[in-house]
Chains A and B, each alone.
Chain A
């Protein structure tokens, strides 16, 4: 079932949605918020995208893409190269291998799962950046970052679910 050229182009664009959404989150994360107190604890928004799509459409979020998106995040955020790419890659692998567990489960289970993944991700990021800079970073700020990320999950996953239902159900 190949369809016409137009259909294929349409499908191709729809398949780019998961990557596009994470890309957008990386850019949004890089915007200066200018809100006092917020600059110190930004949520790890792209990770939410990686997690969601790894559960529900792992075919559209393969490891290589997660790696590439992480690399882009490293460059934009000014992090040591390879840190986000490893974290996104591991988050993708960890989630995609357990995704059957989450299918058909209530929302809070997915949220709980995300808590687990993001806690591991931030702990690993803290460890890697501390090692690469040769200086132990303040863990408290990372803790707040974790809570912020967790807080943003319901909103973004609702948004992703809308996208998935509207545009990715049949393709």
Chain B
């Protein structure tokens, strides 16, 4: 009898040891994964894409009722500010009518001048408009999943715009899903210029809502309200895509308020400008493995 309970006790100890060992092994595996991810191997990316390809159709179905709820909330919110919004829109309309007249005149003039110069226009870019199905939100990552992938012709490094405004670029592409890296993400670095002063800078995200302008030459004085557009340097995006306005200048740190906020993104357009795209995260040549 005593021997029997001793064996049982030993078995229990063994089981406890095994449990401890499993726990430790799993913790080590987590650290291993972090290191593996840091090395950014093809394996990690394949795993990510396989999972997101599987999950995106589910998220697509689930996000439809969620967006209905958001619409209802938005409608109630809008009701409250309807009057003020109306006044604002009337003013804006009057202002825009003026610009429209001006644009028509300039367009005619431009066309006439182009005719005289035998100007060859840039080819029209091809684009895919797609739904945002996944946005985890939060302070740690600023990226979202869209439900189109390489099947629809989406490739790494392409520009992602909402309306007319640049919101980010494609970071990962699966068969039917892709991940958009927003320009507020900490890994996002986009060459930009200030529209008025033509000063060059890099728009660097830091996971806050308002990214920073870095490498801005010290003799340019950026002021709140200056428009920031893509510069086209590095060949990633075409020049002149509007991004945002300078919102604050404090202690030499210039912050930019993007035109489009993360929560507003329901449909985005992925545009192929036919540019080679020397993106920071892209391999310099096809031969080198990441």
Contacts and interface: CB of A to CB of B under 8 A. Distances in A.
Interface of A: 27-42, 63-64, 67, 70-72, 75-83, 85-86, 89-90, 93, 125-126, 128-129, 132-133, 135, 137-138, 141-142, 145
Interface string B253-289: 0000000011111100000000000000000000000
B216 interface: no
A168 B140 CA distance: 35
Given A27-B55, A30-B134, A36-B261, A86 B30 contact: yes
Interface of B: 19, 22-23, 26-27, 29-34, 36-38, 44, 47-48, 51-52, 55, 58-59, 62-63, 66-67, 70, 73-74, 132-141, 143-145, 179, 186-187, 206-209, 261-266
B47 A32 contact: no
B266 A137 contact: no
Given A36-B263, A75-B52, A86-B31, A41 B134 contact: no
A31 B59 contact: yes
Contact of B34 (A64, A75, A78, A83): A83
Contacts of B59: 27, 30-31
Contacts of B33: 71, 81-82, 85
11 contacts: A27-B58, A27-B59, A29-B137, A30-B136, A39-B263, A41-B139, A82-B32, A82-B36, A85-B33, A133-B187, A138-B207
Closest 9 CB pairs of A and B: A82-B33, A141-B139, A86-B30, A32-B135, A34-B70, A42-B137, A77-B136, A82-B34, A81-B37
B137 A137 contact: no
| Consensus secondary structure, chain B interface | helix
Contacts of B135: 30-33, 39
A40 B264 contact: no
Contact of B138 (A36, A41, A76, A93): A41
Contacts of A126: 139
B140 A137 contact: yes
B260 to A, nearest CB: 12
A126 B140 CA distance: 8
A32 B132 contact: yes
B207 A132 contact: no
B30 A89 contact: yes
A38 B36 CA distance: 32
B184 to A, nearest CB: 10
A42 B58 CA distance: 20
A132 B38 contact: yes
B47 to A, nearest CB: 7
A42 B138 CA distance: 5
A142 B139 contact: yes
B66 A32 contact: yes
Nearest to B172: A78
B140 A29 contact: no
A75 B10 CA distance: 40
B139 to A, nearest CB: 4
A31 B266 CA distance: 11
A31 B27 contact: no
Contact of B263 (A34, A81, A89, A142): A34
B134 A133 contact: no
Contacts of B209: 40
Contacts of A39: 135, 137-138, 261-263
Contacts of B67: 32, 34
Contacts of A38: 137, 263
Contacts of A86: 27, 30-31, 34
Contact of A85 (B30, B136, B145): B30
A79 B140 contact: yes
Contact of B27 (A28, A83, A90, A128): A90
Contact of A125 (B132, B137, B140, B208): B140
Contacts of A31: 59, 62-63, 66, 133-135
A40 B19 CA distance: 38
B44 to A, nearest CB: 6
